[in-house]
Amino acid sequence: MSIDTFRDQTRQILENLLNETPKADRSELIDVYTELIARLHAAEAHQLLNEVIADARTRLDARLSPDPVRQTIAGVQTTLQDIWDALWK
């Protein structure tokens, strides 16, 4: 999931918090919505970690492959990712 999706879901959670009835206990509402945002963050972090591990596994498999074409493709992918990372830092 992207940062935009995470932001949208967090915004929805906070909008729900603000739309709760005025009779609700403020401290209790904050606790409940803090837990929701923490769970959302954990799910997003877990998803991102799974994607990174899957990508690393694919690249490692390609680099260890006896097929020179797959090794070349893996090298090009790594180079492109390094360029992409350098642009965003």
Residue 12, CB-side half-sphere exposure with 13 Å CA sphere: 8
The b-or-e profile of 54-68 (16+ CB within 10 A means b, else e) is eeeeebeebeeeeee
Query: Which tens digit of pLDDT belongs to each residue from 68-85?
Result: 777 777 777 777 777 777
Q: What is the pLDDT of residue 51?
A: 82
Structurally, the chain folds into a number of domains equal to 1
pTM listed for this prediction: 0.55
Query: Whole domain around residue 83: which residue ranges?
Result: 3-88
Q: Tell me the average pLDDT of the chain.
A: 78
